[in-house]
Structure 1
Amino acid sequence: MNQLTISPVDADSGPVLEVGGDLDYATAPALRAAVKALTPTAGQMLLLDLGGLTFCDSSGIAVFVAARNHAAAHGAELALAAVPPQTVRVLGVTGLAQVLSMYEHVEGAVATHLSRG
């Protein structure tokens, strides 16, 4: 089991959380709390960089939905970057791939957001 790590980073598009390790029933509350601690402003993007994620169960998927709702409540958007293939598959099967914006890299997510702004 890989310990969950969460590192806040700032980007020109808004707050970023770099997430690594296992995101499961035991660790999902920590990510949920980290998301709630952020207050994106209207027009910003809250970005979850999942490049270091090694495992994600349904509890983690629920945190992504909660993060989307949190961002929307502040007039911001949520995006996921560097999503591991197994998590992309789960998001696709659940239909959440149609709802959550996903990018191959953090830089692409930031650039796309800034070009729309």
Structure 2
Amino acid sequence: MNDVPSSETTVDSHGSVARINGAMDYLTQPWVRERLRQVIAGADRFVILELTGVSFCDSAGLSVLLWARGEAEAHGVVLVLACVPATLRCVLQMTGADQVLRVFDTVVDAQGFLGG
């Protein structure tokens, strides 16, 4: 399964919201990693990854999410997930990644938590 990924980032007084669409897998992970690196490097306080459009995520995609958390932390930026599809939320729970990655139901919920 290889849906070509795309992203869109908006920045406002609440911080950066990056919407990722398509597959996050072993084929697309270099592109997703580079895109998230750019978003994190340009972030001021926090990044919300809005994942509604993620159609598939394998272990390589999960690895990118965990890497992004560490990358954000190294830049003094808080990274959280929002609008996580049910299948990906299940993967996060089964692997214990939901204990490391903070997950919110909506972008507004994440912004409220982050003080936006």
- Structures share a fold, TM > 0.5? yes
Residue identity over aligned pairs, in percent, reads 33
Q: For the residues of structure 2 that align with 1:35 and 1:79, how far apart are their CA atoms?
A: 12
Report the equivalent of 1:58.
Answer: 59
Cα distance in structure 1, aligned partners of 2:78 and 2:34: 18
Runs of 4+ in 1 over 3 A off after TM superposition: none
Q: TM-score, normalised by structure 2?
A: 0.89
Opposite residue 74 of structure 1, the aligned amino acid is: H
Q: Identify the residue that residue 7 of structure 1 maps to in structure 2.
A: 8
Displacement after TM superposition at 1:16 (Å): 1.8
Aligned partner of 2:111 in structure 1 is: 110
Q: Deviation per CA, 1:14-39, whole angstroms, max 9, x where unpaired?
A: 22210111111111111110111132
Aligned to 2:102: 101
Question: How many residues were matched structurally?
Answer: 113
Structure 2: any 5+ residue segments left out of the alignment?
A: none
Q: In the alignment, which residue of structure 1 is the partner of 2:82?
A: 81
